Structure 1
């Protein structure tokens, strides 16, 4: 097989979207830069079971338009390893920019950026301009295809929470990597996070994540976006989005600040998922990542995962208030 294969990052993103596999050697030539194609809005049918009782979204983020709203990603391409402004607008069914949102978990909109191989993850909170344009600086470490998720609720009466998704390409030398194996423990910045429970397709299941440091339980987690932890699950392959929230909240008189954070979640199908837990301690937000198999009775025991620099999340709480 030819070891030098030149492809555009945008082509790589499309290939990842439709499941096309690229044959590669140990190294690839730099990606050839080409003019970005015109960004077209697509109106696709909503995913089945877009909302699940008690657990948040069962299968969101697969469509760019839903419920009369469209995610207009104005920056469909960036250069890997270089800081750039990511800009987008949410538009209503008449093409007008949405400028009023309902605040949920302290923010009007939560932005998730994840690579197609689920090794790079960003939980961001962009700034909204008066005209409805959102923007946030991003620096994606690796070339390839990414998915951008906008999680929000319009302020219009009766509007439901939505998660819209759009494709993003990062140009550069593309090197595919495999998803880490399933694990019950994740290590991040000296913290150990242990996962108990399993995702079950089509029905609610309980997930508990316990945080410790240096072998001691962390019992003084700090509130982050109105909770002691936030969990996002993405399905390997199409990156179906599942956003769940923990049981209880800080100050309710019953929820302890650690070490355990519990969730109720519903997987839309069997398959592999990547879980990302955000938690705050000593003033810093960290993210622990797990690979799980939905439908398995238990997660493999005795396995663990070490976070890598490329998978280190970004958080944009400072200086990005609304």
Structure 2
């Protein structure tokens, strides 16, 4: 093969590789629910300050559907933004408020946040063994101090995640997930993570997950909802989607937030919800699926093995 032919071949292979990478990126970007069968797994429904958009704003704000979070959520700092809190411990066995602030690169509290799935702040509390889960929408005071009203915590180590998007400054438009750990005092007992399974049940509903997830690659994931053996078709919109899906990695609690691509068309969603799943690390991931029916929010948990 001549030098010119080899050069042409290399250029063709490079272009093809770039096209594949772009396709995977676009697939990931296109990806985008308080009851529980697990102790400590709850969802608070409080809205954040100044986060009650009109119906048109709520349905029009689809930022969270096509943005990937910055980092894996295991640090309290990223790109100059810092999650700070005076709460290193909170009492176990009763409700308690966790207060925190997001400081910007200038060291001042950030008070201007963009809407992400109708909320300016999504807050998650996850126990180190992934058996306790809470998803809240805290309130913010004028000075930038947020307050998340946590349900009862079981003794042990917990990680508090703050998911947000600055509306201004150098981080404008970026989706951040920062976290800090705290201790709930008491006799902590580690609970083994349930084995990977294709289905689980919550509140009489059967949740089935189909699809093969591969490390670092976007793959289709389908979640089906049934009750009494019949497909469910009355899912109600929740945070601009028919389901809210969060995943945490066993061992280090790496954070991942996946969104359904299924179009929202009123109070008759289901039974199938489609996702693009892109999980960065191999091993077991604990998935928390939240969906709403009849004005009640349900939270289902399932372990997914990623090879």
Among candidates 109, 131, 147, match of residue 119 of structure 1: 131
- 1:202 matched to 2:216? The reply is yes
Q: Deviations over 1:86-138 (max 9, x none)?
A: 11111112221110100010100100110010011001110111111110221
RMSD over aligned Cα, in angstroms? 1.9
Question: How many Å separate the matches in 2 of 1:208 and 1:120?
Answer: 25
* More helix per residue: 2
- 1:103 matched to 2:115? The reply is yes
Q: Deviations over 1:31-51 (max 9, x none)?
A: xxxxxxxxxxxxxxxxxx9xx
Runs (4 or more) in structure 1 with deviation over 6 Å come to none
Among candidates 170, 177, 181, match of residue 163 of structure 1: 177
Tell me the residue number matched to 1:285. Answer: 297
Q: Deviations over 1:152-198 (max 9, x none)?
A: 10001643111011112111111111111011111111111111113
Q: State how many pairs are aligned.
A: 243
Question: How many Å separate the matches in 2 of 1:244 and 1:73?
Answer: 27
Tell me the residue number matched to 1:306. Answer: none
Q: 2:208–2:223: 8 Å Cα contact kept in structure 1?
A: yes
| TM-score, structure 2 normalization | 0.75
1:1-322 to 2 correspondences below 5 Å = 53-55=29-31, 56-57=68-69, 60-156=72-168, 158-251=172-265, 257-295=269-307
Question: How many Å separate the matches in 2 of 1:103 and 1:139?
Answer: 24
Question: How many Å separate the matches in 2 of 1:154 and 1:74?
Answer: 22
Q: For structure 2, which runs of at least 5 residues remain unmatched after alignment?
A: 1-24, 32-67
Question: How many Å separate the matches in 2 of 1:58 and 1:104?
Answer: 14
Q: Which has the larger radius of gyration?
A: 2
Following TM superposition, by how much is the alpha carbon of 1:265 offset from its aligned partner in structure 2, in angstroms? 1.6
Q: 2:122–2:164: 8 Å Cα contact kept in structure 1?
A: yes
SS of equivalent residue, structure 1 residue 247: coil
| TM-score, structure 1 normalization | 0.72
